[in-house]
Amino acid sequence: MTWEAWFTLLIVLLSFGLLTFRGHAPDVILLGALTALLVSGVLTPQEALAGLSNEGMVTVGVLYVVVSGLRETGSIAWIAQHLLGRPRSLPEAQLKVMAPVAALSAFLNNTPVVAIFIPAIRDWAKRNRLSVSKLMIPLSYAAIAGGTCTLIGTSTNLVVNGLLIEETELPGLGMFDLAWIGLPLVAGVILFVLGTSRWLLKERVPVISQFADVREYTVEMVVEPDSPLSGKSIEEAGLRQLPGLYLVEIERNGQAITAVSPHERLHDGDRLVFAGIVDSVIDLQKIRGLKPATNQLFKLDSPAEERTLVEAVVSNSSPLAGKSVREGRFRTRYDAAIIAVARNGEKIREKIGDIVLHPGDTLLLVTHPQFVEQHRNSRDFFLVSRLDDSRPPRHERASIAVAILGFMVFGAVSGWLSILEAAMLAAGLMIITRCTSASIARNAVDWQVLLVIAASFGIGTALETSGAAAGIAETLISLANGIPWLALGLVFFATALFSALATNNAAAVLMFPIALLTARQLGVDVLPFAITIMVAASASFATPIGYQTNLMVYGAGGYRFSDFLRIGIPLTILVGILTTLAVPLIWPF
C-alpha cells in the first residue's frame, strides 16, 4: 500500500482510540481526523467537504424539523401512548420498542423512523421510570435489522441491487426476496438484545428518581369539557405514570376525593390537585384534555403558542410578600399567571388565588418569553429562570402534523418523491401550517450529529481513494483459499469492518467489485455474495459512526463509544454466522 493508505489507517486507528478510551466529543475528533487527511493531501477540499452536501446527511437534518412539528403538537406523545403502551419489565419495554420499529423500517427508510421515535421513547422512558440508555441502542439495532427485510428497507439494498443489475446479467431482486434472510435476522437481533443487554448494555442515563430535598410544587389542573380523558381511569389517563408526581385529591361538584384510587374515573370539570417535581409538572401541561385551573391564562396578553414556563423566587423586598396571589394582582402587575407554588417541600392546600406568598416561595409561571429579560434584575425576585422545552403543545394542530407525516411517508414509499424531497416538503409544511415555528425548527437540529455524519463520509472517501480499504479487503479475500463458504464469511466481515469504519453505502460499493471478482474466480453464482454484502453493510452494530441511526441515538442515550463495541461486536459476529450459514441455503452457490 502507498504512504497515503498507511497514513489514513493511522488516522482512523488514532480516532478510534480517542473515541473509545477518552470519551471526547465525536464531532471534534472526526473533524480533527478529516483536517489531518485534508492538510496531508490525502483528500482534496472537494472530497473532504463532500459530506456536507450528502443527501443522507441533509435528510437527517431536515427530519429534525419534521420531528419538531410532531413534538410541538403533542403527536409524539400520542404515538408513544398508543404504540408502546405500558411495560411491566425492561425486556418487555425493549420488545415494545424493537418490534414496531423493525416492522416500520422494512417499508420506510429507517432514518425517519428513528428520528420520530427518539423523542417519543425519551418521554415514554421517563413516564415508566426506565433508563433511556437501555432503549436507544435497541431502537437503532431494530431499525437496522428491519431494513434488511425488503429491497426498499435501506438505501444500501438499492445500491447493491443496482450494481447487481449493472455488472451482471441477473434481473435483480424483488421487493420481498430479502425477507428470507431478513426476518430470521430481525428475530435473532431482538432475541440477542433481550437476552444480553442486561450485561452488555450499561446504564448511562440514570432512571429519574425522587429526592427528599427537591422542590415540590402544588399545581391544580382541570379536565376540559369534552376532554379525551373523560371516562378514563386515573391509570388509563397516564396520570399515575409521571415520576415524581402525586395526585393529592380530586375536587368534583364541590366535594373532595382524597386517597384517589388508580381506578377512579375522570369527569369533565374535575379539578385535580397534584404535588410533584418541576419536570413532571411540565409534562402535566402537555397532556391533552388538561389545563391549569386558573382562569388567569385567558387574560394574558401573549398568544398561547408563544407562552413559556418560568420559575421565579419571591424576594423579601417583593410587594407580593404577605399578600395572597389575588390581593397582589399578580397577573395585572407582571402579565404572568401562577400555576404552581413550591415552599420548602410543604404541601400547600389552598387554591392558587388564595395562597399567601412568603419570601423564598418558588413560583411556576406561564408568561411571555421576554419575562426573564425584563425581571432578571428586579428586586421583586431573587431568581428568575426559563424552563427548557416548556411550551404548551398545539394539540389543535396534531391532526395536521400527523397528516403531513403520512404525506411524507406516502411520497417516499410510492417513489413519487425521494426521501430528501419528501422530508424537505414535510418540513416546509410543518412551518407553513404553524405546527412548529422557524425559530423552534432551527433550534431542533442536532448539529453535532450532522457534523459527525459529514466527517464520516470524508473519512470513508479517504479509505477508498488512498487504496487502504482495497488493500485490506484483497488480503482478507485471499485467505479464503478457494472455499466458497469461507470466502462468503470473509466478504461479510470485511464489509462489516468497512461499514463500521466508514459508512454502509461506501462499504457496499467498495466490496461489490471485490466480491464479484472472487465469485467469478471460484466459479460460483455471485447472488449469494451480493445478498451477503447487503446484510453486512447494514450490520453496523459495533460503532456509532458506521450507520446514521447509531449516530442519532449516540447522544440521545448518553452513550460512550465503547458501549457500541461491547454489545455490537458479539451481535455482528452472530449476524455474520447466521448470514454465512443461511444465505447459501436460500440462494445456492
Phi, psi of 367 (to 5 degrees): -155, -175
Cell 457500541 belongs to which residue? 564
**Helix residue ranges per DSSP H, 266-367:** 278-285, 330-334
How confident is the model over 487-499, as a mean pLDDT? 88
pLDDT for 194 equals 95
Least-confidence region, from 169-183, 285-299, 312-326, 394-408:
285-299
- Indicate the SS3 state at residue 435: coil
pLDDT for 186 equals 95
Contact predicate 62/423, CB 8 Å? yes
Question: In the CATH hierarchy, which fold is given to the domain comprising 217-276+289-386?
Answer: Alpha-Beta Plaits (3.30.70)
Q: In whole angstroms, how far apart are CA 222 and each of 80, 244, 249, 272, 293? A: 23, 20, 12, 6, 5
pTM over 0.75: no
Q: In whole angstroms, how far apart are CA 206 and each of 130, 134, 202, 385, 557? A: 8, 10, 10, 25, 11
- Indicate the SS3 state at residue 207: coil
Contact predicate 125/562, CB 8 Å? no
Q: What's the CA gap between 198 and 438, in Å, rounded?
A: 41
Kindly tell me if the per-residue pLDDT of 212 is higher than 50: no
Query: Tens digit of pLDDT for each residue in 148-176?
Result: 998 877 778 888 888 888 778 788 788 78
* Size (the chain), residues: 589
Kindly tell me if the per-residue pLDDT of 310 is higher than 80: yes
pLDDT level of residue 390 (50, 70, 90 thresholds): low
Delimit the domains of the chain by residue range. Answer: 3-204+448-586, 217-276+289-386
End-to-end CA distance of the chain: 32
Query: Which is nearest to 346 in space by CA: 220, 216, 221?
Result: 216
Kindly tell me if the per-residue pLDDT of 408 is higher than 70: yes
Give 303: exposed, middle or buried? Use CB within 10 Å, 0-12, 13-18, 19+: exposed
Query: Tens digit of pLDDT for each residue in 416-426?
Result: 887 788 889 99
Instruction: Find the angle CA(128)-CA(131)-CA(133) to the nearest 5 degrees.
Output: 140
For the record, the C-alpha cell of 133 comes out as 440508555
More confident residue, 54 or 89: 89
Cell 414509499 belongs to which residue? 413
Provide the residue type at 248 as one letter. V
Q: What's the CA gap between 322 and 319, in Å, rounded?
A: 8
For the record, the C-alpha cell of 13 comes out as 486507528
Phi, psi of 557 (to 5 degrees): -95, 0
Instruction: Find the angle CA(451)-CA(454)-CA(459) to the nearest 5 degrees.
Output: 120
Kindly tell me if the per-residue pLDDT of 213 is higher than 70: no
Q: What's the CA gap between 140 and 146, in Å, rounded?
A: 10
For the record, the C-alpha cell of 216 comes out as 415540590
Contact predicate 579/153, CB 8 Å? no
Rounded to the nearest angstrom, the gap between the alpha carbon of residue 17 and the centroid of all alpha carbons in its chain is: 26
Q: How many CA atoms lie within 13 A of 445 on its CB side?
A: 16
For the record, the C-alpha cell of 569 comes out as 461486536
Pick from 32-36, 451-455, 467-471, 514-518 the range whose average pLDDT is largest: 32-36
- Indicate the SS3 state at residue 292: strand
pLDDT level of residue 481 (50, 70, 90 thresholds): confident
Q: What's the CA gap between 29 and 39, in Å, rounded?
A: 15
Query: Which is nearest to 300 in space by CA: 273, 332, 270?
Result: 332
pLDDT level of residue 392 (50, 70, 90 thresholds): low
Q: What's the CA gap between 249 and 237, in Å, rounded?
A: 16
What are the residues whose beta carbons fall under 8 Å from the beta carbon of 95, sequence distance 6 or more? 190, 194
